[in-house]
Amino acid sequence: MMRITTNGVLRGYRSSLARSASNLNAARNTVLTRRNFNSYAEDPAAATQSFKLRRSFSRTSDQLTNSTALVNKFESAWSTIQTVVSDLGNAQAKVAALSGLTDSSGAARQPLAEVLNQTAESAVQSLNAKYADSFIFAGSDGLNVPFSWDSATGNLLFRGVNVNAGGVEKPATAEPAAGDPVPAEWQAYYDDQADLKKLQDMSKETQYIDVGLGLQENLGGDLVSSSAFNGALSGLNFMGFGRDAEGDPKNVISLMKEISNIFARCDKDTGNFNADGTHPTDEADATRLTKKLEDALGKATSQHTQLDVNAKFLKTNEEQLELTADTLNQQILSLEQCDLADAITAFSWAQYCYNAALKVGNSILSQSLIDYMN
């Protein structure tokens, strides 16, 4: 027959009491932290699922941050272009140009020249607007001011390059062979073409940002353009650049400047064109340039409409990302966060068991003489 000694009972009691205390601490921590588990070992399956959800939530949060920044940038850009197009097309520039042409007395042409000049200056200042620490319309180089004036020539520059490049005609002389000295006329042509190439490249700059479109690379390691959003905005695409077949600027601001210069040369008293006698084609040029100004403003308005479309797309995408983030967060909480009522009930039961175990311990018999003999 097996004899149950007092020492054996005490050892069993201490083990059960420690287990009750551990259960009580675990239940207390569940109530305090409101978490179903605090380590991977407590629930490996739930922890693995939680890690996957948190990784998705982190990626979605980053995409939402990117999307919100782009929404703000594009809304600022839309507001700026709206102001510029309004000033150039309706309120000031177009009206001033047309008024200068149709003024029968011509007396208003010189004052209108100043209006055009000031409007051009104001447009450049608006297009040099910043969002956060970056210039909005500088393409992919948001750290440097996009538009400026060349103090020597009066030309409008985009990141240091003349926006009216492309106007130098190809020389009639034979093109120099490689290694031969380059004549001045050919050097001017090469420089002009190089500037035009720079403008074309800058107008196509990209700045792809992950906004939840399934960021992906092709087999060659290049980014699939449709899987990210191009956040670069170049002022060249809104205002135009280069010269047309007649050698006139395509840039809206440059067109205004040229019309302004023509009106400024008019006779102060009579308003007649070509007051200095050195520009016989001023009237015809003003008529032609005013028509091209209207066309260029139409293209700027079209770009402004496209900008609005992009801004609305980003806003819709932002709302979708917010919904996705909320859904993921709810899934994480349902997996990790305990039901507080159940947790409090479990804690109360664990506390009751522990108190009962303490009470039982008080009634355990003291050691017998046999236990000492053993």
Question: Counting beta carbons within 10 angstroms of the beta carbon of residue 313, is it exposed (0 to 12), middle (13 to 18) or buried (19 or more)?
Answer: middle
The CA-atom distances, in angstroms, between 158 and each of 161, 200, 234, 358 are 5, 11, 10, 84
- pLDDT value of residue 79: 93
Say whether pLDDT at 281 is over 80. Answer: yes
Report whether pLDDT(367) > 70. no
Asked if residues 128 and 145 have their Cβ atoms less than 8 Å apart, the reply is yes
Q: Does the structure show a pLDDT above 60 at 370?
A: no
- Interval 46-96: pLDDT, tens: 889 999 999 999 999 999 999 999 999 999 999 999 988 887 765 455 555
Give the residue with greater pLDDT, 146 vs 12.
Answer: 146
Tokens found for residue 271: 């308003």
- How high is the mean pLDDT of the chain? 85
Q: What is the pLDDT of residue 99?
A: 54
Q: Which of 36-40, 298-302, 339-343 has the highest mean pLDDT?
A: 298-302
Within 10 A of 369 (CB to CB), how many other CB atoms are there?
A: 7
Main-chain phi, psi angles of 105, to 5 degrees: -85, -25
- How does pLDDT run across 203-215, given as a tens digit for each residue? 999 999 999 988 8
Work out the pLDDT band at 291, boundaries 50, 70, 90.
Answer: confident
Among 64-73, 95-104, 248-257, 326-335, whose mean pLDDT is lowest?
95-104
pLDDT at position 290 is 86
Handedness of CA 291, 294, 296, 299 (dihedral sign): negative
**Lowest-pLDDT choice from 108-112, 114-118, 286-290:** 108-112
pLDDT, position 263: 83
Report CA-CA distances (Å) from 148 to 162, 226, 319: 10, 33, 37
Alpha carbon 51 to chain centroid, angstroms: 29
Q: Which of 30-34, 63-67, 131-135, 318-322 has the lowest mean pLDDT?
A: 30-34
Q: pLDDT-based confidence at 104, cuts 50/70/90?
A: very low
Is a pLDDT exceeding 60 seen at residue 223? yes
pTM for this entry: 0.78
- The H-or-E segment that residue 203 falls in is helix 184-203
Instruction: Say what percent of the chain tops pLDDT 90.
Output: 44
Q: What is the pLDDT of residue 327?
A: 95
Residue 255 has pLDDT above 50, yes or no: yes
Cite the beta strand spans of 233-276 per DSSP E.
233-234
pLDDT on residue 297: 87
pLDDT at residue 351 greater than cutoff 70: yes
The pLDDT tens digits for 158-212 are 999 999 999 899 998 989 888 889 999 999 999 999 999 999 999 999 999 999 9
- The predicted model gives 3-29 an average pLDDT of 76
- The pLDDT of residue 102 is 55
Between 20-24, 88-92, 95-99, 252-256, the lowest mean confidence (pLDDT) is in: 95-99
Q: Which helix (H) or strand (E) holds 148?
A: strand 147-149
Please give the Cα distance from 338 to 330 (Å, whole number).
Answer: 13
